[in-house]
A and B are shown apart, each in its own frame.
Chain A
Amino acid sequence: MNKEMYQRLVGKLIYLSHTKLDIAFAVSLISQFMHQPREAHLQAALRIVQYLKGTPGRGILFKRNKSVALEAYTDADYAGSVVDRRSTTGYCTFLGGNLVTWKSKKQSVVARLSAVAEFRAMAQGICELL
Chain B
Amino acid sequence: MCILRILNHTKGIQMFPPPSKRFFISKDVTFNEKESYFQPHLQGESVREEDESLMLSNIAFGPEIGTETERGIKPTPELAAGPEQTPQPIAGTEQVPKPTAEPAPNDGGKFGKNLVYSRREKAIPKSIHVQESNPLLQEVITSNPINSNNSNEFVLNNSEAQVDQNLDLPIALRKGTRTCTKQPLYPLSNFLSFENFPPTHKTFLTNLNSTPTPSTVSEALFNRKWKQAMDVEIEALNKNNTWELVTLPTGKKPVGCKWVYTIKYRADGTIERYKARLVAKGFTQTYGVDYLETFAPVAKMNTIRVILSLAANHDWDLQQFDVKNAFLHGELEEEIYMDLPPGYDGQVAVGTVCKLKKALYGLKQSPRAWFGRFTKVMTNLGYKQSQGDHTLFIKHSVSGGVTILWPIPRKEFSYLNKNILLIYLKKQGRQPANQ
Contact = CB atoms under 8 A, between A and B. Distances in A.
B133 to A, nearest CB: 18
B394 to A, nearest CB: 10
Contact of B389 (A63, A68, A129): A129
B302 A97 contact: no
A100 B388 CA distance: 16
A129 to B, nearest CB: 5
Interface in B307-328: 308-313, 315
A98 B302 contact: no
A130 B308 CA distance: 13
Contact of B308 (A97, A98, A126): A98
A5 B61 CA distance: 32
B407 to A, nearest CB: 13
Given A62-B308, A95-B306, A99-B305, A128 B387 contact: yes
Contact of B312 (A98, A101, A130): A98
A25 B234 CA distance: 51
A125 interface: yes
A100 B389 contact: no
A62 B312 contact: yes
Interface residues of A, number: 20
Nearest to A19: B301
Interface string B387-410: 111001000000000000000001
Nearest to B312: A62
B240 interface: no
Contacts of B303: 129
Given A128-B388, A129-B389, A96 B313 contact: yes
**Most chain A beta-carbon contacts within 10 A, residue among B308, B315, B387:** B308
A2 interface: no
Interface in B163-178: none
Interface string A1-35: 00000000000000100100000000000000000
B302 A96 contact: no
Contacts of A125: 302, 388
B412 interface: yes
B192 to A, nearest CB: 19
Contacts of B301: 18
Interface of A: 15, 18, 60, 62-65, 68, 95-101, 125-126, 128-130
17 contacts: A15-B410, A15-B412, A60-B305, A62-B308, A64-B313, A64-B315, A68-B313, A95-B306, A96-B309, A96-B310, A100-B302, A101-B305, A125-B388, A126-B306, A128-B388, A129-B302, A129-B389
